[in-house]
A and B are shown apart, each in its own frame.
Chain A
Amino acid sequence: EAGVAQSPRYKIIEKRQSVAFWCNPISGHATLYWYQQILGQGPKLLIQFQNNGVVDDSQLPKDRFSAERLKGVDSTLKIQPAKLEDSAVYLCASGPTSGGTSYNEQFFGPGTRLTVL
């Protein structure tokens, strides 16, 4: 079974530029997550999708970050404009169903390492 795919693996941009990340979840997984992992910290959830609807985006900085999941499969995360503090690894994960009161395992991709200069 193929895992979660992400691209690009690395990206270097200057502040105020725009950047987009792509995620292809495991086939059949309804739930998709984007996490931000700053160096030395654990991953922090940015947004959670169930199919193509948003379940939780309470920690997404909506003035500069946006995400979409068209057709309930692939997803893109965009930052526009980027700031220095956005330098981090952006992880995508997918799971078979939404968590609710019971946890369902999340499968993580390798991440995209973003450096903002």
Chain B
Amino acid sequence: GNSVTQMEGPVTLSEEAFLTINCTYTATGYPSLFWYVQYPGEGLQLLLKATKADDKGSNKGFEATYRKETTSFHLEKGSVQVSDSAVYFCALYSGAGSYQLTFGKGTKLSVIP
């Protein structure tokens, strides 16, 4: 079945530090990949997505590249801000057999001034 594995948290960084959150996946077919963000007290919001191999999703300074050869979709940001503190979820959607989002466990990021 489909599964998503992302790095354990929590992750604590100083403002302006470089961020990487690793995500790897197992899926049938050719899934679409997503990063969702959950700010405290709010619902999940789509941060970025990529629908085919070598696509790069980007939004708000965050980027992730769909790497089919390594089945990865790592999230990166060059300079984090305090306002980026949130929980980040990697997810996939596969149209082959299971028409639903499969989420990773989430990685909590705290950015300190």
Identity of the chain A residue whose Cβ is nearest the Cβ of B87 in the assembled complex = A42
Identity of the chain A residue whose Cβ is nearest the Cβ of B41 in the assembled complex = A110
Identity of the chain A residue whose Cβ is nearest the Cβ of B90 in the assembled complex = A42
Q: Is the C-beta of B82 less than 8 angstroms from some C-beta in chain A?
A: no
Q: Is the C-beta of B91 less than 8 angstroms from some C-beta in chain A?
A: yes
Is A45 a contact of B43 with CB atoms below 8 Å?
Answer: no
Interface residues on A, range: 20 to 34
Identify which of A14-22, A66-74, A76-84, A99-107 touches chain B.
A99-107
Complex Cα distance, B108 from A10, in Å, reads 22
Is A108 a contact of B45 with CB atoms below 8 Å?
Answer: yes
Q: Which residues of A contact B103 (CB under 8 A)?
A: 42-44
Q: Which residues of B contact A91 (CB under 8 A)?
A: 43-44
Q: Which residues of A contact B4 (CB under 8 A)?
A: 42
Is A4 a contact of B105 with CB atoms below 8 Å?
Answer: no
Identify which of B11-19, B57-65, B68-76, B94-102 touches chain A.
B94-102
In chain A, residues 27-72, which have Cβ atoms closer than 8 Å to a Cβ of chain B? 40-45, 48, 55-56
Contact of B46 among A99, A105, A110 (CB under 8 A): A105
Contact of A43 among B42, B44, B46 (CB under 8 A): B44
In chain A, residues 86-117, which have Cβ atoms closer than 8 Å to a Cβ of chain B? 91, 93, 98-103, 105-111
Q: Is the C-beta of B35 less than 8 angstroms from some C-beta in chain A?
A: no
Is B99 a contact of A98 with CB atoms below 8 Å?
Answer: yes
Complex Cα distance, B99 from A48, in Å, reads 10
Contact of A106 among B41, B101, B106 (CB under 8 A): B101
Identity of the chain B residue whose Cβ is nearest the Cβ of A103 in the assembled complex = B93
Going nearest first, the 8 A-B pairs with the smallest beta carbon separation are A42-B103, A101-B95, A108-B43, A103-B93, A108-B44, A99-B99, A45-B100, A110-B43
Name A residues whose Cβ lies closer than 8 Å to a Cβ of B: 3-4, 40-45, 48, 55-56, 91, 93, 98-103, 105-111
